[in-house]
Amino acid sequence: MSTTNQFSRPLHEPDVEPSGGTRLNNAEPRRPYTGWNPRSVCMIVGAWLILHIGCMFTPGLLDDVDSVYIEIAREMLKRHDYVTPYIDGIRFFDKPPLMYWLAAGSMHLFGVHDWAGRLPLALLTLALLLAIYALGLRLFAAVSPAAHPDRGALYSALALATCIGPYLYTRFYIPDIVVALWMTLAVHTFLIALERIVERRSALLPCIAFAAVTALNLLTKGFIGVVFPFAFVLIYLALNRQLKLLFQFHLVKSLLVFVAIAAPWHILATLRNPPIALPAGLGLPAHGGWAWFYLYNEHIARFLSRRIPHDYGQVPIPLFWLLAAIWIFPWTAFIPGAINRHIHNIRARADISARQHEAALALLLWAGLVLGFFTLSARQEYYSLPALPALALMAGGLLACADRDRLDSAARSARAWHRWLLVPVGSLCAAIAFFFAITAPHTNPRTDIAALLAQGGAYNLSLGHVFDLTGRAMGLFRGPLIIVGFSMIVIGPATYLLRRSGRTYAANLCLVAASAGLLLCMHEGLVRFYPTLGSLSLANAILAEQKKNPQPSDLILIDGELTSGSTLLFYTQQPVHLVNGRINGPWYGSFWPDAPPVIETDATLNQHWASPQRIFLLTYHPDIRTPDLLRFGQVHVLASSGGKSILTNQ
């Protein structure tokens, strides 16, 4: 059969061989789907156990979104209200509820512990790795070595498990990795449904599965969870000239499943939080409720950079793309060759198998859709995470091709980019790590790290505190720095020598092991940096004082906005008051008539301080607060850590 005739039919339409078997409509026969390789699955699960379960118990929760999400889940358990999120007794409308529900369910089973709140994110990360493996089996069985048809799937899952971005952004409880999971499942179920439709088989189950994971995505991240999967489907079909097949995707039944999962919470949230009169002069409408804030302000207005209040920094486009490359490091080295190969496959469609064309189009579209969307809209540095599974699959597919044939263009590309990117970057980073490990002054491990930092005060990036590090502070990180140095030597020169000698499988596994070592050092660095990022020790100091001298009327205050010390809420399990803290998270909910009076001013703080009530004040500025408060009563420093202090009037 000629190539022209083959491509006059839809991409997935099979040809019938004389023997009665089926093969893809292009040059290469379709391999049957391979079963999951137990050895590969054990490697993936082992990496996950070490990196995620092993690191789940330290450090404590971080002030800001990490403790905010898990505290909301704790308050859901306490209130038995799983519709309206509350924090500190105030309505919190910023995010959809699935992440709260998961943390609340885990804490209901295992108790109110920080690790129990984190457990669902760790389990969903494992689900993501296995979903990548499953999709990799579909896309790369034909290009992997014949003796190891799951090699591309294995590399893809291990690449995502050991790259920087997914690991860093599962150190705190945010939904973006979960969005990556739902997107991976949506892409896979769509491809299965499309294949079944063109082969005239029932596609009902994959269509329903697509609807279900898209609904879960909506409940995880909001509208963006629907935009990406639907846009992927429409553009993929359009590029393949298969839009006419859209109506065969069981749209009515799929829509019913989607609505059954996604609609109840949205309806209940609207009914239970109707519009109220809002204060004038703040840019707010005269009346607004949950629907205005969540549906318009958190989605449409944020996309247009008109959110009220405008509390999110905007990452510049070049930095956003640079960070996306860093998040997939060290597997970044294999992305350019993979992109070039996929572009070539799309252009040379007549000479490749349908599965190769499917992989090329799906992965390029997936990554381009996510990165392109956030290039044009409001963006944070971690918004690229839903694109990383596609990039990991690209890298895994290229490395599988390189394993199959050392003379293949994929192998040449992997060697070249390894030589010119990973070798110099690895060598440079190793030299820097060893330099600081050797030259940093010896520091008492008990030293408060805040005394060694250059506190910047304004942090537009989620990891902005890294820029506070000084040469003096490096003495606290000497051990991790040494391991980072050796890890980067393996990532760069050592694995290149293995790859150049043709031992590609050993090179890739060494790259996995060295990357895991690098990530464990990052975790240890986070543990040592924790006093500036969280307030667990301060919460424990308050609890110890309350246990020693119980006073039921104690009042805990935070000097500033809630995220300045939001871990106090979770660890003390007591309400806190905010001094000049009607900012960001609880700002909108504080306008509700039933909101507790937790917003304080300097004047009311002074009144509390002069009262017989015992006060605990978390502040970043004890040198400023102490002279002012001495006019109204005694001032004692109960505890200090990470640049924060707890002041008390008794």
* Predicted confidence (pLDDT) per residue in 561-574, tens digit: 999 999 999 999 99
Q: Is residue 376 part of a domain?
A: yes
| 411 within domain boundaries | no
Which H or E element spans position 618? strand 615-619
Which of 377, 404, 431 is the C-terminal boundary of a domain? 404
Element (H, E) at 347: helix 335-347
Crossing angle (nearest 10°) for helices 354-376 and 388-404: 150
Q: Is the per-residue pLDDT at 628 higher than 50?
A: yes
Regarding predicted confidence, which is higher, 252 or 411? 252
Asked if 90 and 239 sit in the same domain, the reply is yes
Strand pairing class (615-619; 644-648): antiparallel
Residue 455's pLDDT is what?
60
The residue segments making up the domain with residue 504 are: 421-531
Tell whether 568 and 583 lie within a shared domain: yes
Q: Does residue 480 share a domain with residue 516?
A: yes
Residue 614 lies in a domain: yes
| Residue 583 burial (10 A CB sphere; 0-12, 13-18, 19+) | middle
409 within domain boundaries: no
Residue 522 one-letter amino acid? M
pLDDT at 182 over 50: yes
The Cα–Cα gap between 180 and 185 comes to 9
pLDDT of residue 303 exceeding 80, the answer is: no
Residue 112 is assigned to a structural domain of this protein: yes
Statement to judge: residues 501 and 352 lie in one domain: no
Looking at the predicted structure, is the pLDDT value of residue 456 above 90? no
pLDDT at 430: 94
pLDDT at 467: 59
Maximum pairwise Cα distance, the chain: 96
Same domain, 432 and 545: no
Residue 152: is its pLDDT beyond 70? yes
Residue 466 has pLDDT above 80, yes or no: no
Q: Is residue 12 over pLDDT 80? A: no
Q: What is the pLDDT of residue 142?
A: 84
Percent of the chain with pLDDT over 70: 90
Given pLDDT bands bounded at 50, 70 and 90, which one contains residue 312?
Answer: low
Lowest-confidence pick of 206-215, 344-353, 555-564, 603-612? 344-353
Q: What pLDDT sits at residue 450?
A: 67
Nearest CA among 208, 124, 206 for reference residue 173: 124
Mean pLDDT of the chain: 88
Which of 371, 404, 437 lies at the terminal end of a domain, its last residue? 404
Q: Report the number of distinct structural domains present in the chain.
A: 3
Residues 209 and 164: beta-carbon distance below 8 Å? no
Cβ partners under 8 Å of residue 81, min gap 6: none
Mean pLDDT lowest among 12-21, 115-124, 272-281, 443-452: 12-21
| pTM assigned to the model | 0.91
Confidence at residue 434, expressed as pLDDT on a 0 to 100 scale: 92
What is the C-alpha radius of gyration for the chain, rounded to an integer number of angstroms?
27
| Runs of H (alpha helix) within 440-503 | 478-489, 495-500
Residue 224 or 441, more confident: 224
pLDDT-derived band of residue 529, with 50, 70 and 90 as boundaries?
confident
| More confidently predicted of 612 and 16 | 612
Predicted local distance difference test score (pLDDT) of residue 582: 87
pLDDT on residue 236: 96
When mean pLDDT is compared across 299-313, 317-331, 533-547, the lowest value belongs to 299-313
- Same domain for 372 and 472? no
With contact defined as beta carbons under 8 Å apart, do 479 and 433 qualify? no
pLDDT band (50, 70, 90) for residue 393: very high
pLDDT confidence band for 25 (50 / 70 / 90): very low
pLDDT above 90 covers what percent of the chain? 72
- pLDDT value of position 474: 75
Lowest-confidence pick of 35-49, 352-366, 460-474: 460-474
Residues 331 and 205 in one domain: yes
H helices present in 222-250, as ranges: 224-239
Picking from 647, 641, 171, 624, the residue whose alpha carbon sits closest to that of residue 453 is: 641
What amino acid occupies position 5?
N
Query: Are 183 and 260 members of one domain?
Result: yes
**Are residues 614 and 486 located together in one domain of the fold?**
no
Task: Look at residue 18 in the predicted model and tell me its pLDDT.
Answer: 32
**Residue 588, class by beta-carbon neighbours within 10 Å (0-12 exposed, 13-18 middle, 19+ buried)?**
buried
pLDDT top residue among 70 and 348 = 70
- 216 has a pLDDT exceeding 60: yes
The residue type of 639 is A
pLDDT at 268 over 60: yes
Q: Is 256 found in the same domain as 332?
A: yes
Q: Which of 363, 378, 404 is the last residue of a domain?
A: 404
Q: Is the pLDDT of residue 612 over 50?
A: yes
The token pair at 30 is 């379709």
Residue 279 inside a domain? The answer is no
Mean pLDDT: which of 208-217, 279-288, 427-436, 579-588 is highest? 208-217
Query: Rounded to an integer, what distance in angstroms lies between the CA atom of residue 446 and that of residue 646?
Result: 19
| Contact indicator for 582, 590 with CB cutoff of 8 Å | yes
Cα(347)–Cα(327) distance, rounded to whole angstroms? 29
Pick 458 or 212 by higher pLDDT.
212
Examine residue 416 and state whether it is found in any structural domain, yes or no: no
Sheet strands (E) in 367-475: none
| Residue 458 resides in a domain | yes
Mean pLDDT for the stretch of residues 215-232: 95
Residue 272 near residue 84 (C-beta atoms within 8 A): yes
Average pLDDT over residues 159-167: 96
For residues 243 and 355, state if they share a domain. Answer: yes
Whether residue 473 is found in the same domain as residue 488: yes
